Amino acid sequence: MTPLDRTLRRQITVDGKDYTVRLDPLGLRITERGRRKGLSLSWQALVNGDAALAAALHASLEEDTAAPS
């Protein structure tokens, strides 16, 4: 295996929007093309399952706010 010792950048398109994916020794980052802010995720959070827990929590909060009162 080749160690990840420097940043790798790739472009992906999702629903017609371009995004930049950066992989580095600390984690990954996805940003909309031309923007500075995006989503960051450390490798430790991904391996420990914290990322899945956060995604599930975020999804449940969105469902609660979308439901009529």
CB atoms within 10 A of CB 8: 10
Range of the domain at 47: 8-66
Residue 49: the pLDDT is 79
Residue 13 lies in a domain: yes
Q: What domain count does the chain have?
A: 1
- Is 17 within a domain? yes
Nearest-angstrom CA–CA distance, 31 and 18:
9
pLDDT of residue 10: 96
- Quick check: is 53 in a domain? yes
pLDDT digits (tens, 9 = 90+) for 31-56: 999 888 888 888 888 888 777 777 77
Predicted confidence (pLDDT) per residue in 2-36, tens digit: 999 999 999 999 999 999 999 999 999 999 998 88
Q: Model pTM greater than 0.75?
A: no
